[in-house]
Chains A and B, each alone.
Chain A
Amino acid sequence: MTRTIAAREGAGVVQVEAEVIGNVAAGGYRHLTLVTPGLAELARPGQFVALSVGDGTSSMLLRRSFSIHKVSPAGTYGGTTEIVVAAHGEGTRILTALEPGENVGVIGPLGRGFPLPSQPVPCILVGGGYGSAPLFWLAEQLRERGCAVEIVLGAASADRLFGVVEARRVGDGVTVTTDDGSVGTRGWVSDVVPELIERSGAAVVYGCGPMGMLSSLSAIADEHGIVAQVAVEEAMACGVGICMTCVMPVRDESGTTSMVRSCLDGPVFRGDRVRWEAFDDGYCRVPEDTVGAPKAVR
């Protein structure tokens, strides 16, 4: 049974023990539906939820964060939240094995979602693997505002794609790429995006997926003089802003770089604000001009 743990008035976030009411296969992923009273009403596309693994005695202490695929404020079960989970390690294997009727600790909505343009401009939405999960909900909101929406879905192979059918429902155009060419265009999403920007006259590129893909999208957007809004994937211990593990070097409006929490200041950043050059082979160093960076040893 779903139980609310913490929901302070005006906090904009809830902590619930959520009942799982759906767990279905979606390509190589699992699509989970969770009963989350109070969460759906607050959530926006691009925000995420943090799930605990097992009960309060699990040896896996850290929460796993997932972008919100969809919310339904009032269904048969009350408000629900849907997420897409890939089984990577032991924690996500436990989450993908949750059966309807079981409970899971959920905190959300967390972080800042995708900013929506104030004018009805053409937009391109790019998802890598199950990173595409929040884009369909975003597409619906953009189209409600009169924006034309092109969707690009990329993955290593056909079974790693998520949401192709849904993309055709909510997008004005859909392009699929796979590294192995098993479906759609062979190659990366970055191979098709420049031409799509030129053809559609897009003013904004929205991206969600691996960091390398987001870095490429940001560079392409820069080259075309348009804005990229990217939802980053960073390892987080808590998701709520208290552990300081998910930081990244990001410039503010004045050009000053700080190590900011992607859970609070993100996960969506303007692509040109992120110091992509600091990321290398799984590590991210602190750029020398970052506020409070260690002084070079002489």
Chain B
Amino acid sequence: MSAPTHSVDMSVDIAGVRLPSPMMTASGCAANGRELNRFIDITTLGAFVTKSVKLDPVSGRGTPRMAETPSGMLNSIGLQGPGVSAFVEKDLAWLHSIGARVVVSIAGNTASEFARVARAIVRSRYADAVAAIEVNISCPNVANRGLVFACDPAGAHKVLTLVREEVPRGLPMLAKLSPDVTDIVGIAEVVLKAGAHGLTMINTTLGVAIDTDRLRPHLAAATGGLSGPAIRPMAVRAIWQVAGAMREGRIRTVPIVGVGGVRHGTDALELVAAGATAIQVGTAAFNDPSAPHRVGVELEQLVADRGFGRLADVVGIAHERFTA
């Protein structure tokens, strides 16, 4: 990969936290760091985003948990994880030891469980590695679909309110939103009123694949979350709508972390131009573990090629250049 023709300031500001790069992993697509660190130095990313951690250990769903779909995949992992205590002592400790900036994704069965997980993270001895808390209110792979807080304004509000009480001043709290809602701007408004400092958009969207030999659902859990380039237009749309509402003053302006189908630099540039300040790379890492780093190099070149000296100058630019 050749160096950009002139240097671009790729640093980003996530609600007061400065990151040297806009590039992040996406929660659930990079385990907790060690595996990906065999391929790229994860300390060079803007931040490493962990798999969502819950209070207690979770086995996840049975298998098959995965089905390949056109330009995407369905997964029904079910938030498998070791529980927050083991996460802190093994995974966060290791991420801290190598000097990674960490966005910890948290999840829970109840609003108070989210808060207890947040408390365990921010009060741990490795808390100074934590660059932000990402509140996963939108995972579709839970046994009870009624638990998708991001589809329920009251539930989303309660989770963010309780987590906010645990998060110290200066530590951004990002709410990760689902595209499976009628009005994503309305949900964004609710979580911002509850105190979210930023938004991560989007989580996977619910799908089903049928095994046409056995004529039954391919996934053991029947439904799964669709990810990959297939959902990129949905991510761009969600970011476009919410960033547009911010520009019109309908909701508070906060940073948006864009995620959904980013595989190449041009994909990342689409999300940035629609209004994303930072970028997460998810499913593409399954194909190319170096993607979270590679996409950043490609994005920097594309920004330079278009004559900009700062990535920040491109954030949301499509709104300015759109005349309807």
Contact = CB atoms under 8 A, between A and B. Distances in A.
A and B are interacting partners: yes
A292 B58 CA distance: 4
Contacts of A124: none
Contacts of A290: 59
A292 B59 contact: yes
A247 B56 contact: no
A290 to B, nearest CB: 5
Contacts of A56: 263-264, 287-288
Interface string B259-281: 00001100000000000000000
Contact of A61 (B36, B56, B73, B264): B73
Interface string A232-269: 00110110111111111000000000110000100000
B287 A242 contact: no
A275 to B, nearest CB: 11
B214 interface: yes
B36 A6 contact: no
A282 interface: yes
A60 B287 CA distance: 9
A24 interface: no
A74 interface: no
Interface string B37-67: 1111100000000010000111111111110
Interface in A13-44: 13, 15
Interface residues of B, number: 49
* Residue of A8, A11, A242 with highest tally of chain B CB at under 10 A: A242
B22 interface: no
| Dominant secondary structure at the B interface | loop
B258 interface: no
B288 A105 contact: yes
A242 B60 contact: no
Nearest to A281: B214
A244 B143 CA distance: 17
A242 B214 contact: no
B29 interface: yes
Contact of A240 (B35, B64, B83, B283): B35
Contact of A283 (B41, B63, B80): B63
Nearest to B72: A61
Interface residues of A, number: 44
A118 interface: no
B68 A15 contact: no
B228 interface: yes
Nearest to B220: A283
B57 A247 contact: no
A248 B290 contact: no
B282 to A, nearest CB: 10
Contacts of A192: none
Contacts of B97: none
* Residue of A63, A105, A238, A278 with highest tally of chain B CB at under 10 A: A238
A8 B71 CA distance: 29
B286 A283 contact: no
B289 A242 contact: yes
A97 interface: no
A63 to B, nearest CB: 6
Contact of B66 (A60, A243, A259): A243
B299 interface: no
A234 B220 CA distance: 14
Interface string B276-309: 0000000111111110000000000000000000
Interface of A: 5-6, 8, 11-13, 15, 52, 56, 59-63, 91, 105, 107, 234-235, 237-238, 240-248, 258-259, 264, 278, 282-286, 290-294
Given A13-B38, A61-B228, A240-B39, 10 more contacts: A5-B290, A52-B287, A61-B71, A91-B68, A237-B75, A242-B29, A259-B80, A264-B35, A278-B62, A292-B80
25 contacts: A5-B288, A6-B40, A6-B289, A8-B37, A11-B37, A13-B39, A61-B228, A61-B229, A63-B286, A237-B286, A242-B29, A243-B77, A244-B65, A244-B80, A245-B75, A246-B63, A282-B211, A283-B62, A283-B220, A285-B62, A285-B220, A286-B59, A290-B59, A292-B59, A292-B81
